[in-house]
Structure 1
């Protein structure tokens, strides 16, 4: 039997997981409206998933340092399947919230996948290799939203059942083919709640990690604010439904896959992680400022493309910078902290975006989307200051 590359298997695990995630994201805001959810409630529906991730991701990361990456990945993928199936069978808004809670509580697979990559990759190669996760993320957002748009024509809940089935296939593939990356001799001996203070870093490394966490948090707030409100924005401004939004999200995924799957490694070799982070943050800020003024489909597509490319530059480089601040024994903990910061951001972003978009709905109909997207651009100014301090 030929030996399978662990990185290829991790790529496949993340890709299939993100296909399921990509199916749901363009559909869920409009699906929730069928239950009478307002933009603010939709923001909470999206945010509750990240609230549970914020609470559980550090624990799962620390647990993976203790018992290994493979069992944590397997449990998280099975939880994702359960959440998707419950979304498909939900007949009330309350059950939709319960489904998001289940999915979020077990949603530690990305941080554990990043820790897996850190286990098998030398420090100088980590940003490039973590770009593979970003590429899988991007490819998942090509296939997922397109499938969501297609299956939404079959039945409103059909995309959730497709996503659940894919998650079960993902769990089966992981159980069959993924080897453990963290041998027993490299595991921590005790389990306690993860936290930055317990990492025992020197002051310069602690400052770099704090700046990295802060920049990651702020950029994720801005991008999740955009992602959560984008279907409602395009529906109001351009009359787009699930299918059109699915194709737009697929375009974003395609561009992110190009950037993180190949272009990012070349760019880092000719510059640095810090430079690419700064360029990405600036690009995100500019894109958010001009997005509300898009009046044509061509302008919308161009701005969406710029936002996707910019975000592709930021996420992997910040994860790579964080990974390089610590040793091998605590990679899971640090990746858990990074994903916990991102999860908190994905609570703040959708809720803030929904509230500000509701403000636009009642006061600024001619400039719908301006308030949340300009607020996101303001947050990116603070992220830029932190990125420059790295």
Structure 2
């Protein structure tokens, strides 16, 4: 039996990394059905432009700070970066919950956005402790954490929001504090001293695109940008869409998002991991983008029926579940150990840019539709952008990365 002092069989930290990202995503998911409705209400009276800024500023700051945090984690280690950034997330949630004016809501989102690059560091932790062959399947853990967080968070936010509009933000802040304590006390440092030393000498942006990897990485980044932009149009408008088109309150919307997240867990935690025993990452990403685009096209014309809405949402969930982890895995496997944080930081930045651009597009296009056709133009634009994502994915050449094998993921 291996002990903690036996270097041959160290205990994998994948389970704790999964829990860390899960708690982070539950906190993030809590505010999804709450924030747009909360900010638009009588207390703040935010306009569509103010809403787009409020939703988008978080991701804009992630765009700036994800590569910075990723590069920093390559130099000083993953654990200190995760610990401090999660603490910042908690502070941001508490400021948002305490807000009595729009500028305070914005300040809370700014603090949270600066701290929000920690997902890239979490992905780098997984890359540190897995082989290249198993990396796409292990990145499915992040997809599963997103799915569970997207399942539990919105439902919890909807229930808490019925009690008090500010309560979801305080609960999310409390969860972030718990998360920070778990990381500080239990997460081992996953970056080896050798990789840290190499990063200090060679961690340049040019190194990321060297050794013939530039075409692959650019194609993956473009695919990520387009797919996240299209998907974020939906997520930013969904609560208001359900309220104005179906008459649902935030609790009902939260349960619908619970259903979307539940399907995502089934797909990424089970079906996708089995499918990725074969080297078909690109094909799965293409299928996912196609299903996502079709579902988004039909969303605004959904009849006033819960069953039909759930059917369309199922397509959205399945499509997104196929796209996200496959792109993450391809990006990770295209880099060396000492550039993992930088590469995944760039991927997170592409996602952050998409989550900034998406709401800006979506909210500005609302002016073309009445409440009866709320967000129709926005969702059509989303579908068109997702078709562009599909085209970008077809340009990815997975042969530049090591093909996955059916080896099992290290046990947690």
How far apart, CA to CA, are the structure 1 residues paired with 2:113 and 2:173?
14
Decide which of 388, 403, 407 is 1:382's aligned counterpart. 388
Q: In the alignment, what sits opposite 1:352?
A: 361
Query: Residues 95-147 of structure 1: CA distance to partner in whole angstroms, max 9, x if unpaired?
Result: 00010000000111110010111111011111110111110111111211111
2:362 and 2:375 in contact (8 A); partners too: no
2:148 and 2:265 in contact (8 A); partners too: yes
How far apart, CA to CA, are the structure 2 residues paired with 1:193 and 1:244?
51
- Are 2:335 and 1:322 equivalent residues in the alignment? no
Gaps of 5+ in 2: 5-9, 397-412
Decide which of 197, 208, 215 is 2:216's aligned counterpart. 208
Decide which of 369, 377, 386 is 2:375's aligned counterpart. 369
Q: In the alignment, what sits opposite 2:7?
A: none
- Are 2:298 and 1:285 equivalent residues in the alignment? no
Distance 1:195 1:309, change over 3 A: farther
- Quote the RMSD (CA, aligned, Å): 1.8
1:62 and 1:193 in contact (8 A); partners too: no
Distance 1:291 1:51, change over 3 A: same
How far apart, CA to CA, are the structure 1 residues paired with 2:232 and 2:51?
13
2:85 and 2:118 in contact (8 A); partners too: yes
Q: In the alignment, what sits opposite 1:49?
A: 58
- Are 2:261 and 1:253 equivalent residues in the alignment? yes
How far apart, CA to CA, are the structure 2 residues paired with 1:246 and 1:103?
22
Q: In the alignment, what sits opposite 2:400?
A: none
1:123 is paired with a residue whose SS is coil
Equivalent residue pairs, number:
386
2:198 and 2:338 in contact (8 A); partners too: no
1:59 and 1:194 in contact (8 A); partners too: no
Q: In the alignment, what sits opposite 1:28?
A: 35
- Are 2:34 and 1:37 equivalent residues in the alignment? no
How far apart, CA to CA, are the structure 2 residues paired with 1:193 and 1:303?
47
Query: Residues 137-169 of structure 1: CA distance to partner in whole angstroms, max 9, x if unpaired?
Result: 111112111111111122110111111001000
How far apart, CA to CA, are the structure 2 residues paired with 1:188 and 1:335?
19
Query: Residues 366-385 of structure 1: CA distance to partner in whole angstroms, max 9, x if unpaired?
Result: 43222111111111222111
Q: In the alignment, what sits opposite 1:118?
A: 127
Task: Give the alignment's TM-score, normalised by structure 2.
Answer: 0.90
1:60 and 1:108 in contact (8 A); partners too: yes
Gaps of 5+ in 1: none
Task: Give the alignment's TM-score, normalised by structure 1.
Answer: 0.95
Q: In the alignment, what sits opposite 2:109?
A: 100
Q: In the alignment, what sits opposite 1:160?
A: 169
How far apart, CA to CA, are the structure 1 residues paired with 2:86 and 2:151?
20
1:276 and 1:317 in contact (8 A); partners too: yes
Decide which of 18, 24, 31 is 1:11's aligned counterpart. 18
How far apart, CA to CA, are the structure 1 residues paired with 2:182 and 2:299?
40
- Are 2:89 and 1:80 equivalent residues in the alignment? yes
How far apart, CA to CA, are the structure 1 residues paired with 2:231 and 2:378?
11
